[in-house]
A and B are shown apart, each in its own frame.
Chain A
Amino acid sequence: MSDEKEDAPAAEELSAHRLLGLTDEEHDHIVRILRREPRPAELAMFSVMWSEHCSYKSSRRHLRRLPTAGPHVVVGPGQNAGVVEVGDGWLAALRIESHNHPSLVEPYQGAATGVGGIVRDVFTMGARPIALWDSLRFGPLDRARNRYLLKGVVSGVAGYGNAVGVPTVGGELAFEDCYSGNPLVNVMCLGILRPDQLVLATAGRPGNVAVLLGAATGRDGIGGASVLASASFDVETEAKRPSVQVGDPFEEKKLIEACLEMYEQGLVAGVQDLGAAGLSCALTEPVSRAGLGIEVNLDAVSRREPDMSADELLMSESQERMMAFVEPAHLDEVMAVAKRWEIDAAVVGTVREGGNVSVYSGGELVAEVPAGALAGGAPILDRPYGEPGWMEDLWSHTISFMQEPALANSLLALLDDPAIASKAAIYEQYDHMLFLNTVVGPGHDATLLRLKGTRRALAVSTDGNGRLCYLDPRRGAARIVYEAALNVAVVGARPLALVDNLNFGNPEKTEVMWQFVETVEGIAEACRALDIPVVGGNVSFYNETDGLDIYPTPVVGLLGIVDELNFTPPRLDRAEAGMDVWRFGPTWAINLAGSAFEKVTFAHVGGRPSAPDPTSARLAIETARRLAAGDLASVLHDISEGGLAMAVAEICIASGVGARLYFDDWRHLFCEDPHRFVAAALAQNRQRVTEVADQLGITAEPIGSFGGGEISFERAGMRTSLDLAVATEANRRALPRRLV
């Protein structure tokens, strides 16, 4: 046999797999599994299923460190969404996901399809999606491109979220240089359901049919999962842009109602939504979970364009599609429900014994692969990691202050910083009132949603801080968890469960991998300390452009529960003249490393942020919750970006009343050390507030009072003031004036 002849086809295969984003090692692994060279359609399926975005191959090994168990956890990580018991016979489903790379390519559609995807993840579990949160990060707004991205993303979240009929009730917005080429768009969704409505993504039994519901399949996002989300951007990749996915919220709304109706009537054995890796994933994961196989007929797939190849059908990421696994006896009813809601439905496969996925197209067998090799079969990588040499330098890169800064000016600069200022210009574009559940909406520390028909309420906070995590990934990540927990506590809730979205740079770099491992450790530590299980998460790697990685940016979504909403929830706008300003938590707060103050005033990012303290964390959370639940404080506000001065200023602006603060060390005003919060309480509550603090053993100090038309800082008889009207105008206009 001629060697040349043998080599020629092999060489073609190699470039084919590399074009699809598979490494040589992965290709060899596939050959070992199949005991032959893969067919083109099989290669296509492996390329999407084994992509970083779908397989978590770089992260799986480390995510195991996260605590995932808890007495109220019904479904942990591994399904489409985490599910927890919230009481009174209700379950909550929650998930957070990123759509970073598509949002850089086409911000409106990237954000829109991100919302669509996360909503599907939730109603795939049998839950009705009831709320969304968007956590967004961009480069500085003085660059036109960043303004364009922000406007596009916000329009996309609004356009899709509003039209699909799920209220967007909260979120975050932050700015750092490193996000200029890599915007971060993380979206969280919460749904509620009764236990008997819970649906898992399983194929069920042999003989069940796979019914593809929803939109027709086009060439959307082909190469998306494998090429886009698993690779960094540079000038060359611009030309290789895959077909952008376009969202159709109307189709999705019909899909939600049709699916919920099918669940209610018990018509489906399992459901999987089609997200990244489209049909390849939806046909293989549920089958693999059930330990079965499936025979697929691609000809039955409704297509939007003529002449689509088997590869394209298998890789397409066309939106608004679901796969329902149905017992034959229920098929007619399923089709009837689909017809009523005017969505397409077609049987595309039959579940059977054995573990193989056999795909037919045009009468020919185009793929035959073990389901388990595709779903969860990607070789888990053990990427090397190590603390970068520059961490020590970064930690010693502190600035010292020769003199006290002009306090009013410093505060004004912070109020005007778009990362901290009022986000009303954003969230007033989101319908946050639909469903009549929003008790505390956007613009406060956490969202509070009542649970109709019960006396309970659900609280959610989404939090991240890339700058802090850059300076110390482990401390930063832990602090984010503690902050989120404190945020739900200030509306009277106790923390219950967490989902995380981990946004990082290129994992092939040891320092990025080190940041990742440290971050996961930090989250794990804080979750263990607070006894909060992680019920789901998402990892986004390769947020890197032209060699520059983003800050390590974990974002957490924390769900808390109010067992009985028999109090008036504290809100930022409930302060009144005459109320006391209280400060709770550890007193020694002078470390400004990573603070907004240092960044805004001196354009400085350096030093090592303070470590969190689990005991102080638990104390702060319990104190805040009790003060809220006991109607002892009208306002409770976590001290975070901008420090205590900013926290009090935000209350003043929201409430339309000034304040007079007493301090001794000016650093206390801008320090962002964790586990501290402020409160506004009626003078008549002084004794009871002190009692609660004493009982719990937390430091509580009255530091001033609300009233007047200024925010003033007083020490040893010397006073500096900032006019409230000026502060309000600056804070409200910071974002809109930069977006013109």
Chain B
Amino acid sequence: MRAIVRVTRRPEIADPPGLTTGRALADLGYGEVAGVRIDRVITIELTTVSAADAKRRVEEMCERLLANPVLEDYSVTIEP
């Protein structure tokens, strides 16, 4: 079983890397770019058998370690 975790900056928190990347893209001629956010994808291979268990445990991992709740949100997708 595999868990794909996306850790994203909470929308109201500033994202300087995203902002700078957006400007650079505009500089390179991509005027259609209206905004950029840079997030993290964490892929976790699990030996868990049940998808429900996997989701619950990975969410716990997010709460405890993978995401900083002061700055970040997270979402968990389980793949078989």
Digit string of B1-41 for contact with A (CB within 8 Å is 1, else 0)? 00000000001111110011001000000000000000000
Which residues in B have their C-beta under 8 angstroms from that of A246?
13-16, 71
Is residue B49 within 8 Å, beta carbon to beta carbon, of the partner chain? Answer: no
Contact, CB under 8 Å: B71 / A251? no
Q: Which residue of B lies closest to A105 (CB)?
A: B70
Is residue B68 within 8 Å, beta carbon to beta carbon, of the partner chain? Answer: yes
What are 5 A-B pairs at a CB distance below 8 A? A109-B71, A220-B14, A246-B15, A248-B14, A250-B16
Is residue A631 within 8 Å, beta carbon to beta carbon, of the partner chain? Answer: no
Q: Which one of A106, A219, A251, A304 lies within 8 Å of B70 (CB-CB)?
A: A106
Of all A-B residue pairs in the complex, the 7 with the closest CB atoms, nearest first, are A248-B16, A246-B14, A106-B70, A219-B12, A243-B12, A244-B70, A246-B13
Digit string of A238-259 for contact with B (CB within 8 Å is 1, else 0)? 0001011111101100000000
Q: How far is the CA of A243 from the CA of B12 in the complex (A)?
A: 7
Using A105-B70, A106-B68 as known contacts, say yes or no to A243 and B20 having CB atoms under 8 A apart: no
Which residues in A have their C-beta under 8 angstroms from that of B23?
342
Q: How far is the CA of A442 from the CA of B20 in the complex (A)?
A: 33
Which residues in A have their C-beta under 8 angstroms from that of B11?
305
Which residues in A have their C-beta under 8 angstroms from that of B12?
218-220, 243, 305
Which residues in A have their C-beta under 8 angstroms from that of B16?
246-248, 250-251
Which residues in B have their C-beta under 8 angstroms from that of A540?
none
Interface size on B, residues (CB 8 A): 12
Digit string of A96-116 for contact with B (CB within 8 Å is 1, else 0)? 000000000110010000000
Q: Which residue of B lies closest to A243 (CB)?
A: B12
Q: Which residue of B lies closest to A245 (CB)?
A: B14
Is residue A318 within 8 Å, beta carbon to beta carbon, of the partner chain? Answer: yes
Which residues in A have their C-beta under 8 angstroms from that of B68?
106
Is residue A168 within 8 Å, beta carbon to beta carbon, of the partner chain? Answer: no
Q: How far is the CA of A250 from the CA of B18 in the complex (A)?
A: 12
Is residue A319 within 8 Å, beta carbon to beta carbon, of the partner chain? Answer: yes
Which residues in B have their C-beta under 8 angstroms from that of A250?
16, 20
CB distance from B63 to the nearest CB of A (A): 15
Which residues in A have their C-beta under 8 angstroms from that of B20?
250
Digit string of A106-131 for contact with B (CB within 8 Å is 1, else 0)? 10010000000000000000000000
Q: Which residue of A lies closest to B23 (CB)?
A: A342
Contact, CB under 8 Å: A241 / B14? no
- Tell me if A's interface is mostly helix, strand, loop or mixed: loop
CB distance from B34 to the nearest CB of A (A): 12
Q: Which one of B14, B15, B70, B71 lies within 8 Å of A318 (CB-CB)?
A: B14
Contact, CB under 8 Å: B70 / A218? no
Q: How far is the CA of A591 from the CA of B41 in the complex (A)?
A: 59
Which residues in A have their C-beta under 8 angstroms from that of B14?
215, 218, 220, 245-246, 248, 304, 318-319
Q: Which residue of B lies closest to A319 (CB)?
A: B14
Q: How far is the CA of A218 from the CA of B19 in the complex (A)?
A: 13
Q: Which residue of A lies closest to B20 (CB)?
A: A250
CB distance from B19 to the nearest CB of A (A): 8
Q: How far is the CA of A699 from the CA of B19 in the complex (A)?
A: 62
Which residues in B have their C-beta under 8 angstroms from that of A219?
12
Not counting A246-B15, A248-B16, a sample of 11 additional A-B residue pairs whose C-beta atoms are within 8 angstroms of each other reads: A106-B68, A106-B71, A220-B13, A241-B70, A243-B12, A243-B13, A246-B13, A248-B14, A251-B16, A305-B12, A318-B14
Interface size on A, residues (CB 8 A): 21
CB distance from A573 to the nearest CB of B (A): 39
Q: How far is the CA of A220 from the CA of B71 in the complex (A)?
A: 11
Q: Which residue of B lies closest to A219 (CB)?
A: B12
Which residues in A have their C-beta under 8 angstroms from that of B71?
106, 109, 244, 246
Which residues in B have their C-beta under 8 angstroms from that of A215?
14
* Chain A 206-251 residues near chain B, CB threshold 8 A: 215, 218-220, 241, 243-248, 250-251
Q: Which residue of B lies closest to A248 (CB)?
A: B16
Q: How far is the CA of A723 from the CA of B15 in the complex (A)?
A: 52
CB distance from B73 to the nearest CB of A (A): 14
Q: Which residue of A lies closest to B15 (CB)?
A: A246
Q: How far is the CA of A248 from the CA of B9 in the complex (A)?
A: 15
* Chain A 290-329 residues near chain B, CB threshold 8 A: 304-305, 318-319
* Residue from B16, B68, B71 with most neighbouring chain A CB atoms (10 Å): B16
CB distance from B38 to the nearest CB of A (A): 13
Which residues in B have their C-beta under 8 angstroms from that of A247?
16
* Chain A 174-223 residues near chain B, CB threshold 8 A: 215, 218-220
Which residues in B have their C-beta under 8 angstroms from that of A105?
70
Q: How far is the CA of A241 from the CA of B70 in the complex (A)?
A: 9
Digit string of B38-69 for contact with A (CB within 8 Å is 1, else 0)? 00000000000000000000000000000010
Which residues in B have their C-beta under 8 angstroms from that of A248?
14, 16, 19
CB distance from B11 to the nearest CB of A (A): 8
Q: Which residue of B lies closest to A244 (CB)?
A: B70
Which residues in B have their C-beta under 8 angstroms from that of A106?
68, 70-71
CB distance from A630 to the nearest CB of B (A): 50
Q: How far is the CA of A109 from the CA of B20 in the complex (A)?
A: 18
CB distance from A211 to the nearest CB of B (A): 20
* Residue from B13, B15, B71 with most neighbouring chain A CB atoms (10 Å): B13
CB distance from B69 to the nearest CB of A (A): 10
Q: Which residue of A lies closest to B68 (CB)?
A: A106
Which residues in B have their C-beta under 8 angstroms from that of A245?
14
* Residue from B15, B20, B70 with most neighbouring chain A CB atoms (10 Å): B70
CB distance from B35 to the nearest CB of A (A): 10
CB distance from B44 to the nearest CB of A (A): 22
Q: How far is the CA of A245 from the CA of B15 in the complex (A)?
A: 11
CB distance from B2 to the nearest CB of A (A): 29
Q: How far is the CA of A300 from the CA of B37 in the complex (A)?
A: 25
Q: Which residue of B lies closest to A249 (CB)?
A: B16
CB distance from B47 to the nearest CB of A (A): 27
Which residues in A have their C-beta under 8 angstroms from that of B70?
105-106, 241, 244
Q: How far is the CA of A109 from the CA of B70 in the complex (A)?
A: 10
Q: How far is the CA of A215 from the CA of B36 in the complex (A)?
A: 16
Q: How far is the CA of A305 from the CA of B70 in the complex (A)?
A: 18
Which residues in B have their C-beta under 8 angstroms from that of A251?
16
Q: How far is the CA of A247 from the CA of B70 in the complex (A)?
A: 14
Q: Which residue of A lies closest to B9 (CB)?
A: A246
CB distance from B21 to the nearest CB of A (A): 11
Q: How far is the CA of A519 from the CA of B16 in the complex (A)?
A: 41
* Chain A 617-649 residues near chain B, CB threshold 8 A: none
Q: Which residue of B lies closest to A215 (CB)?
A: B14
Q: Which residue of B lies closest to A106 (CB)?
A: B70
CB distance from B37 to the nearest CB of A (A): 12
Digit string of A423-459 for contact with B (CB within 8 Å is 1, else 0)? 0000000000000000000000000000000000000
Which residues in B have their C-beta under 8 angstroms from that of A220?
12-14
Q: How far is the CA of A218 from the CA of B71 in the complex (A)?
A: 14
Which residues in B have their C-beta under 8 angstroms from that of A241?
70
Q: Which residue of B lies closest to A246 (CB)?
A: B14
Q: How far is the CA of A403 from the CA of B66 in the complex (A)?
A: 53
CB distance from A736 to the nearest CB of B (A): 22
